[in-house]
Structure 1
Amino acid sequence: MRYLVRDRMFAFHEEAWIETEHREKVFKVDRKLLRLRTTFAFVDPWGQTAATIVRKAMTWHHTILIKHDGERLGKISRRLFRLFGDRFVVKLRDGRKLRINGNLWDREFDIQHRGTTLAHVSRRWFSLRDTYAVDVMEPADTTMLLVLAVCVDHILHEQRD
């Protein structure tokens, strides 16, 4: 299924909406302002927080924690030494390790587990409207894959500034 992340991070309220390809709102990504650490909340249309993204302060490389109800679900970090392009490593609570690689400069990348693509993120067709698509191939992990796509986009946006 295809999801569209409508990025409005430059607006005063700093929020982004994630919708299905049929324009149904799935999550609002709400940036918490006036905090020491960068924090985002994934809120469903009924107001329930599905996940929280917290950027760790004082790290050598970008590390973001993914939490739900105070419990850590995963950690995404940029590889310190990389030979070919940008890569991220994700360690999930259940022990799985995911890799994120591709052309991150153009925001064309895949989220993979053991060589199997779980999701493909593309800004190719949406570059003028601050929108990117997340094609989820593994519906059981939809929320986590959407969270990871937003994490990588945030890290890349922060890196460019």
Structure 2
Amino acid sequence: MKYYMKSKIFKLKEDFWIKDENDKEAFFVDNKLISLGLQFNIQKDNNILYEIKQRLSLTPKYEIIKGSDVVASINKKITFVKDKIKVDSSYGELLIYGNLFDRNYNIYKYDNIIATVKKEAFSLTDNYSIDIDFEDEAFILSLVVIIDDIRDKH
């Protein structure tokens, strides 16, 4: 399934919709203003599917929570040209590889690409197209919002 995400470059409090390939609002991203680090919910039909919290650390670290259970821990490795983000999750280990300059990413489970994230060039906002081939699309979209946050801050 294909989704589109548009996030603002200059943001204090940003809530936004992730749209599907038919330009329909599919998931709502509710960013919590009063928090240290990134904290947001991914919602569908007014139901919270995932909560994402950034952990204080020298390198970017995040947790994805479903209900009261931590279902994923995300750690970005320090690199200079390529981005490598490790995701330890209830789905197993996922790896996110990207290029610092063009902001395109692939998300892998084992050796299979389960999602491709492409940033639109020459835009005043951060526009992404996301192709997902995975059973839990909301989980992958949570990872994309984390990727966007990492890119904005580092």
Q: Structures share a fold, TM > 0.5?
A: yes
Q: 1:126 to 1:143 in 2, by over 3 A?
A: farther
Larger RCO of the pair (alpha carbons < 8 Å, separation 6+): 2
Q: Name the structure 2 match of 1:48.
A: 47
| C-alpha contact 1:9 1:15 (8 A) present in aligned 2 | no
Residue 137 (structure 2) aligned to one of 129, 138, 142: 142
Root-mean-square deviation (CA, aligned residues, Å) is: 2.0
Alignment of structure 1 residues 18-57 onto 2, 5 Å: 18-44=18-44, 46-57=45-56
Cα offset for 1:128? 4.3
Q: 1:84 to 1:104 in 2, by over 3 A?
A: closer
Cα offset for 1:102? 2.2
User: Is 1:153 the equivalent of 2:148?
Assistant: yes
Unaligned 5+ runs, structure 1: none
Q: Name the structure 2 match of 1:102.
A: 98
CA distance in 2, matches of 1:19, 1:12: 22
Which is helix-richer, 1 or 2?
Answer: 1
Q: Name the structure 2 match of 1:92.
A: 89
What whole-Å deviation, never above 9, does each CA across 1:89-116 have from its counterpart, x for those lacking one?
Answer: 000024x111100213321010001110
Which is strand-richer, 1 or 2?
Answer: 2
Q: Name the structure 2 match of 1:71.
A: 69
Q: Please give the secondary structure, in 1, of the residue aligned with 2:136.
A: helix
Cα offset for 1:34? 1.6
Q: 1:126 to 1:74 in 2, by over 3 A?
A: farther
CA distance in 1, matches of 2:80, 2:37: 30
Unaligned 5+ runs, structure 2: none
The runs of at least 4 aligned residues of structure 1 exceeding 4 Å deviation read none
Q: Name the structure 2 match of 1:120.
A: 116
CA distance in 1, matches of 2:146, 2:67: 18
| Deviation larger for 110-119 or 35-44 | 35-44
TM-score normalised to structure 1 length = 0.85
What whole-Å deviation, never above 9, does each CA across 1:121-156 have from its counterpart, x for those lacking one?
Answer: 001357344321111122x12111111111111111
CA distance in 2, matches of 1:153, 1:108: 11
CA distance in 1, matches of 2:103, 2:124: 13
| C-alpha contact 1:108 1:124 (8 A) present in aligned 2 | no
TM-score normalised to structure 2 length = 0.89
Query: Which residue identity is paired with 2:129?
Result: A
